[in-house]
Amino acid sequence: MNSTIKNFEFTIYIKDLKASHHYVEERLFEACCDDALLCSINNNLYLEFDRKAVSFDLAIHKALKDIETAGCQSIQIHVNNEPYNLVR
């Protein structure tokens, strides 16, 4: 069985974390979120991912695990600027 790695783009908004929190960028980078751009709107943080994986669900699940490893919590996932409901 040949599993092809694909590129997936999605956005994950971070819960209860503001741009003013110290070392958040370093913590996310060290937790393997180096394939995401850390952004802020009205001082609220979100990550724009460009993640490689075998499937879309695996890409999102891994990103959520990485965010939790950094000590953060996700609040919402968006795909193509639309909310995405992930079944866990």
**Mean pLDDT, to the nearest integer, of 51-71?**
94
**Mean pLDDT, to the nearest integer, of 55-82?**
90
Q: Find how far residue 33's CA is from the centre of its chain.
A: 7
| Nearest CA-CA partner of 69 in 26, 37, 30, 39 | 30
Neighbouring residues of 66: CB distance < 8 A, sequence distance ≥ 6: 28, 31, 32, 33
List, for residues 7-47, the tens digit of each pLDDT value.
Answer: 999 999 988 666 556 688 888 999 999 999 999 888 788 99
pLDDT value of position 44:
80
Q: Which fold has domain 6-84?
A: Alpha-Beta Plaits (3.30.70)
- What is the C-alpha separation between 44 and 40, in angstroms, rounded? 5
- What is the C-alpha separation between 17 and 34, in angstroms, rounded? 18
pTM of the model: 0.85
State whether the Cα torsion 31-33-5-77 is positive or negative: positive
Q: Which two tokens stand for residue 80?
A: 């193509």
Reduced to 3 states, what is the DSSP secondary structure of residue 13?
A: strand
